Amino acid sequence: MSVRHAILALLSEGPKYGLQLQKEFEASTGEVWPLNIGQVYTTLQRLERDGLVESDETENESPQKGFHITDAGSTELSSWLNTPSDTAAPPRDELVIKVLSALRVPGVSVHDVIQVHRRYLVELMQQWTRLKEDEADFDLTFALVVDAELFRLDSVVRWLDTADGRLKRAASEPPASSTTPRLARRLVVRR
Amino acid sequence: MSFLELRSVSKSYGEGAAEVHAIRHVDLAVECGTLVAVMGRSGSGKSTLLTIAGSLEEPTSGEVAIGGASLRAMSRNDKARLRRRTIGYVFQEFNLLAGLTALENVALPLELDGLAGKKAQAAGMAALEELGLAHRATHYPDEMSGGERQRVAIARAVVGERRLLLADEPSGALDSTNGEAVMRMILTACKRGVAAVVVTHDAQLASWADRVVFLRDGRVVDQTVPPPSPEVLLETSSWSGPRR
């Protein structure tokens, strides 16, 4: 996740101090992502070095030193917002590798391995859903973050369900049909 | 004490080589005020489990008890009375009667049970009000959205003194926002002391439950342990365990 661009987004509203940026960053993520003040200043220094933000020139290294976004910073922010995240290449997901590996380990039921992970994910989802139960204590940004996490976990559970079903079907079906025509041709030739 | 209890319940259809085991030796206990989700893929036996729990179907073996009373010892009339008074059903397709208004649909099970029309309608209206549907009381099902129809179906399921709510894929084809609203309503009923069982293949719906039971090939293979306080998620500082 890009702290750099999140800070540019906050500065697009107007000039801000470092401490103010830290507090607003945490509030804008439903207070789910912590950000220490050191990380804020390191990021601001790099943004300033790259010409994307400028600091007040009057007060050197004061905690009340203000920052504002430059035109180059606004262009960079707009470009980032409108560029799809790089999800073209499948990640080397550890869970996928575990399920694939379980297929090769003698004496291990891949269905049992899948169930262990399914249960863990659903338990995590139960915990996230508990956070949604009390709507009165549920602000919009926090709701969006919780929904994102629930959908992420749900997609993994769905993959496990699909894998479970595909493996079960494969175990009950005859060998892959792609070999059948070749086998049939050989039989014909032998005759 | 468990309000619904299934003890080693099995159900099979057909005989000999054609015999199909829908569920096998299922044990399930649901306490008052508790929501249990039964999760499984299509064909895992979850709908069969629900119809047996609701006395709509007889098990091949095993025992079902509701409110401490075994269904095996009940006559057909006793079971019918139990279904009218104690059990509420919610189905994926809502199953509302098209020729009746929302209020008439909700009040119908009470009237069938012999309650006077006015009292039944008052109880029906109270159930509709609780689900925010009082303003739709005189509308017919085809005049309502899918989300509203399902809320009417839930009102019908919890109207009166029903103690057991059984729901089969209750969010059906609803979008996730309406699905969430449906689960909130079921949870509200549980907070009043209703015992509820929801069968679903949807992990997001199941995650509203106090306990999730996993069904595979007709057998209970696993269940979640009651989750710890959700604040645990917010105490750590990494994204995999964010804090609030």
- A74 and A115, same domain (yes or no): no
State which residue of chain A sits closest to B215, comparing Cα positions.
A115
pLDDT bracket for residue A175 (50, 70, 90): low
Q: In this structure, what is the dihedral angle of CA atoms B170, B175, B179, B181, given to the nearest 10 degrees?
A: -130
| C-alpha span between B148 and B141 (Å, rounded) | 9
Other Cβ atoms less than 10 A from the Cβ of B185: the count is 22
Q: Is residue B56 one of the residues assigned to a domain? A: yes
Over pLDDT 90: what percentage of chain B? Answer: 59
Structural domain harbouring A56: 3-81
| C-alpha span between B15 and B196 (Å, rounded) | 33
| C-alpha span between A92 and B114 (Å, rounded) | 63
Find, among B62, B36, B58, B72, the residue nearest to B165 by Cα.
Answer: B36
Q: Is residue A188 one of the residues assigned to a domain? A: no
Supply angle C-alpha A81, A85, A88, rounded to 5.
150
Query: Mean of the pLDDT values across residues A38-61?
Result: 86
What is the ipTM metric for this complex? 0.85
Residues 124-153 of A with CB under 8 A from B: 124-133, 142, 145, 150-151, 153
CB B87 within 8 A of CB B133: no
- A6 has a chain B CB within 8 A of its CB: no
CB contact under 8 A, A127 and B230: yes
Q: What residue ranges in B32-179 does DSSP mark as E strands?
A: 35-39, 61-66, 69-70, 87-90, 164-168
- A156 and A98, same domain (yes or no): yes
Out of A32, A47, A81, a domain closes at: A81
Other Cβ atoms less than 10 A from the Cβ of A24: the count is 17
Would you state the pLDDT for residue B158?
84
Write the pLDDT tens digit of every residue in A96-130: 889 988 988 888 899 999 999 999 999 999 999 98
Q: Is residue B103 one of the residues assigned to a domain? A: yes
Would you state the pLDDT for residue A47?
95
Would you state the pLDDT for residue A188?
44
State which residue of chain A sits closest to B220, comparing Cα positions.
A115
Place of tokens 């470092």: A18
Average pLDDT, rounded, for chain A: 83
Place of tokens 């319940």: B9
- A174 and A100, same domain (yes or no): yes
Distance from the B120 Cα atom to the nearest Cα atom in chain A, whole angstroms: 31
Other Cβ atoms less than 10 A from the Cβ of B66: the count is 24
Q: What pTM, to 2 d.p., does this model score?
A: 0.80
Query: Mean of the pLDDT values across residues B189-200?
Result: 93
Nearest to A129 among B208, B223, B239 (CB): B208
Over pLDDT 70: what percentage of chain B? Answer: 92
| C-alpha span between B22 and B219 (Å, rounded) | 9
Structural domain harbouring B90: 2-226
Q: In sequence order, what are the beta bridge partners of B7?
A: B63
Q: Is residue B244 one of the residues assigned to a domain? A: no
CB B200 within 8 A of CB B122: no
State which residue of chain B sits closest to A126, comparing Cα positions.
B207
Full strand arrangement of the beta sheet holding B211-216: B87-90, B164-168, B195-200, B35-39, B211-216, B219-223
Position B238 pLDDT exceeds 60: no
Would you state the pLDDT for residue B1?
77
| C-alpha span between A13 and A6 (Å, rounded) | 12
Which residues on chain B are in Cβ contact (under 8 Å) with A123?
212, 224-225, 227
Out of A55, A81, A107, a domain closes at: A81
Write the pLDDT tens digit of every residue in A75-104: 999 888 888 777 666 667 889 889 988 988
- B216 has a chain A CB within 8 A of its CB: yes
Q: Is residue A185 one of the residues assigned to a domain? A: no
Query: Mean of the pLDDT values across residues A156-166?
Result: 94
CB contact under 8 A, A125 and B244: no
Query: Mean of the pLDDT values across residues B166-191?
Result: 86
- A96 three-class SS: helix
Q: Is residue B191 one of the residues assigned to a domain? A: yes
Position B109 pLDDT exceeds 90: no
Q: Is residue A157 one of the residues assigned to a domain? A: yes
Position B234 pLDDT exceeds 80: no
Q: Length of chain A, please?
A: 191
- A98 and A77, same domain (yes or no): no
Which residues on chain A are in Cβ contact (under 8 Å) with B228?
127
Tokens of A139: 């602000």
Distances (CA, A) of B179 to A140, B147, B171, B200: 19, 8, 5, 12
Out of A19, A50, A81, a domain closes at: A81
| C-alpha span between B206 and B197 (Å, rounded) | 10
- A115 has a chain B CB within 8 A of its CB: yes
Over pLDDT 90: what percentage of chain A? Answer: 47
Q: Is residue A189 one of the residues assigned to a domain? A: no
CB contact under 8 A, A126 and B227: yes
Task: Mark A136-172 as b/e (b = at least 16 C-beta within 10 Å).
Answer: eeeeeebeebbbebbeebbebbebbbebbeebeeeee
As for how many domains chain B has, the answer is 1
Distances (CA, A) of B155 to A70, B97, B126, B152, B209: 57, 14, 9, 5, 19
Residue in B177, B190, B224, B225 to test binding to A, most A beta-carbons within 10 Å:
B224
Q: Is residue B220 one of the residues assigned to a domain? A: yes
As for how many domains chain A has, the answer is 2
| C-alpha span between B187 and B160 (Å, rounded) | 17
Position A65 pLDDT exceeds 60: yes
Write the pLDDT tens digit of every residue in B10-55: 999 988 888 999 999 999 999 999 999 999 988 899 999 999 999 9
CB B153 within 8 A of CB B122: no
Q: Is residue B236 one of the residues assigned to a domain? A: no
Place of tokens 């929302």: B102
- B219 has a chain A CB within 8 A of its CB: no
Query: Mean of the pLDDT values across residues B62-76?
Result: 94
CA A102 to chain centroid: 25
- B207 has a chain A CB within 8 A of its CB: yes
| C-alpha span between A124 and B244 (Å, rounded) | 16
Q: Is residue B47 one of the residues assigned to a domain? A: yes
CB contact under 8 A, A158 and B203: yes
Tokens of B99: 């020729």
Position B66 pLDDT exceeds 60: yes
Query: Mean of the pLDDT values across residues B165-193?
Result: 86
Would you state the pLDDT for residue B144?
93
Query: Domain containing B6 — which CATH number?
Result: 3.40.50.300
Nearest to A32 among B209, B229, B242 (CB): B242
Which residues on chain B are in Cβ contact (under 8 Å) with A115?
214, 216, 221-222
CB contact under 8 A, B216 and A115: yes
Q: Is residue B71 one of the residues assigned to a domain? A: yes
Q: Length of chain B, please?
A: 244
- B208 three-class SS: coil
Residue in A2, A3, A126, A151 to test binding to B, most B beta-carbons within 10 Å:
A126
CB B42 within 8 A of CB B69: no
